[in-house]
Amino acid sequence: MARILGLDLGSHSVKGVVLEARTKGHATRSFVEVRRAQEGERADTLRAAVTELLGKLPPGHADQVVVALPGPALITHSLSLPFSDGKRIDATLPFEVGSLLPFDISDVVYDYQVVGQKETDGKDKASDLLVGVVRKEELKSLLDLLSELKVDPRIVTHPGLAYQNLLQQAAGLFEGAGEGGVVAVVDIGHERTSVAIGKPGSGVQFARTFAGGGRDLSKALATEFQTSLAEAHHWKEQHGAMASAARGPDAERAAAAFMRGLQPLLRELRPTLKAYTARTRQQVGALVLCGGTARMPGLAEQLSKDLNLPVRVLALPADTSEAIAPAEQPTAAQAYALALRGNASGARAPRFNYRRGELAFKGDFDYVKDKLGLLASFAATLLLLLIAFGVVRNSVLSRREAQVDAALCETTQRILGRCEKDYNRALNMLKGVESPAAALPKMSAVNLLAEVTQKVPQDLPVKFDRIQIDTERVILQGETDSSKQVDTLSNALKNHACFKEVKQGKVERTRDGQKVTFRLDVQVQCPGTEGGES
């Protein structure tokens, strides 16, 4: 059974969820979270955290890996094109995307997902696209870092579109989404927030990412209490609360600081929801929170007051509870959604994948090896079909061969007086001197007359007074305009395979001097005969 590792490369911690694909459905096998060091180079802290995470997973932890692009450098565009044909979209998109970028399109990697279609005045449908763009050097740096750790992700996707399959396959998690059934999944990380808006059961219709998250709350708390960022972050995780969950003077003072730290996120979130409404004419009915920051008590209540919308924290499907504790589920949400993305196939699988062109995934065999059992059964079935085809074909050919032998036997019995089933021997016997067919001439007088007539040039003015034909000789007498035309006729007859020799008799002018009379004596001997006899 194939195992898929959904790997969330967060700025505060890395999370991994291992999903085991089955013939029907899937099972969640394990969840691991490893904190990243807050001091040091980002690449070094990420390398160390991923190495530790992989060490905590079971041996042979995954056959394929799916990641979302980390960091806030991702650019997301929503585009509309007046057609739905995939080839036309692929041909047009480079020009559309290039016009929106401050740098050359050859320096970036991009992909798109069709998030909606609508009827137009013409025959075709207009397509709404979600396009994600990232600098090629950033993607290559990430792949090189993971390659050092023997991790080769099959899919690198958009962090918002990572929730596509969660919305499609686990629609029950979003029941009560409100008007129109539209829900916004808001993943509040440490330094980045991702928003995916769509309908449960259908998928993502709008997505974007922006800087801001739990780090801003820690900074506000550190400023309020004049303490270090590390201490503020630790206190936030242990005691932080907002709205009615904040009890006591220090907690209320901290909640006020958290509200100030929350303002950058709200300044981005409000226009995001309005942009979706303006684009689709649909209202977002509810927010579902996930990410490490979503675990803060009272955050959902506070956001509900600020946005005037129902807000709650995401809970994963019940069958994940053995591997992922309820308190950890908001943190594990993106890693779980990424694992679902790797398990999706066919029409249910989003096409969005930054691994294209020179950066395309090249380890397909590593995943196919777990399908060898299925491939072996297909091969066995094909072999049985080929064997059955061969048996039927041989049976049909045997019957046809028997019918041909019977017909050949009947023919040779009637002509030669004895049955012969060997085709080559029968043919030689029919051609032999003892055969009745041997008495038949190869070339008859009628055949020779037709050949003579065919060989006379159509533009040659000739009149035959006498034509004498037998199987060994042809005599032609007549008149034409000149002796040169007699030569022309003689040469034309010489080109026939059965006319061995053409002799000209005496050529004389007629009494009026306008024409000449001639005689041609033609010896007949066809190839393969002696003396003109067959």
SS3 of 295-312: HCCCHHHHHHHHHCCCEE
Residue 533: the pLDDT is 41
Helix or strand or coil: residue 338? helix
Stated as kind and residue range, the H or E segment containing 68 is strand 64-68
133 CB-near residues (< 8 Å, 6+ apart) = 74, 75, 76, 77, 97, 101, 108, 109, 110
Distance from C-alpha of 343 to C-alpha of 350, rounded to nearest angstrom = 11
Instruction: Give 411's contacts (C-beta < 8 A, 6+ positions apart).
Output: 426
Please give the pLDDT value at position 178: 53
Q: How far apart are CA 453 and CA 469, in angstroms?
A: 12
Q: What is the mean pLDDT of each run of 10 residues along the chain (534 residues)?
A: 90 93 84 92 94 88 89 86 90 92 90 86 82 93 94 93 89 70 94 93 91 94 94 93 93 95 96 93 93 95 95 92 93 94 74 89 56 75 89 87 84 79 75 55 74 84 87 87 87 82 86 87 75 41
Residue 109 and residue 104: Cα distance in Å, rounded?
A: 11
Are 359 and 111 within 8 A, CB to CB?
Answer: no
State the DSSP code for 396.
H
Of 124, 94, 95, 88, the residue nearest 111 (C-alpha): 94
- The pLDDT score that the predictor gives to residue 367 is 43
**Which residue in 173, 206, 208, 168 sits closest to 312, CA to CA?**
173
Structure tokens at 374: 């299925």
Dist. CA 88–CA 447, nearest whole Å: 67
How far are the Cα atoms of 176, 255, 262, 533 from residue 218, in angstroms, in the given order?
32, 11, 10, 117
Q: Locate tokens 């061995």: which residue? A: 500
Strands 75-81 and 26-35: unpaired
Structure tokens at 383: 């072999």
- Cα distance between residue 282 and residue 206, in whole Å: 12
Among 372, 291, 341, residue whose Cα is nearest residue 65: 341
